[in-house]
Amino acid sequence: MSTDFRKDLVAQMKNRALIYLEVYDVLAEELGAARAEALLTKAIYRRGRSAGAALAKYGPSDLQGLRDAFLAGVPGGAELFQPDVRRDDGERLEIQLRGCPLKDAWREAGLPEAKVETLCRIAGAVDKGLFEGAGFRFENRTWAPGAEGCCFLSIRRG
């Protein structure tokens, strides 16, 4: 990946993170923090489900095909999100994402750790939608203060 392309991709992802922040803040001002999180999570989950249709040919049981397709489609390749496959035994696929431009943007904006944690939880809904939309069962442990890396993705046959 060329340096200019990588720089532009990171800038676009960080911009997306700041859009999430602004939408969350506006909704929280109008409806309260809990309702804002619920609504934004729902919208981002729906987007993930739509994107999951492209991976549905692997669901509900081809974890190897899903793994290969998902890793090949990670924005920026392995450089940005730094996916680390922790488990891949045909029953469960576990991937630790070591990097995240969205989380980096929120931290660079000086947000308190608790708010970064909330925004990570919201943004992680895209992964839940993606894998469930492809026909798999999914659990996501999004970043929390003191945690390693960023999201921890756990995918099982549907």
**Full-model pTM:** 0.95
Question: pLDDT digit of tens for each residue in the chain (158 aa)?
Answer: 678 898 999 999 999 999 999 999 999 999 999 999 999 999 999 999 999 999 999 999 999 999 999 999 999 888 899 999 999 999 999 999 999 999 999 999 999 999 999 999 999 999 999 999 999 999 999 999 999 899 999 999 99
The CATH code belonging to domain 3-156 is: 3.30.1380.20
- The 10 Å Cβ neighbour count of residue 87 is 12
- Domain positions in the chain: 3-156
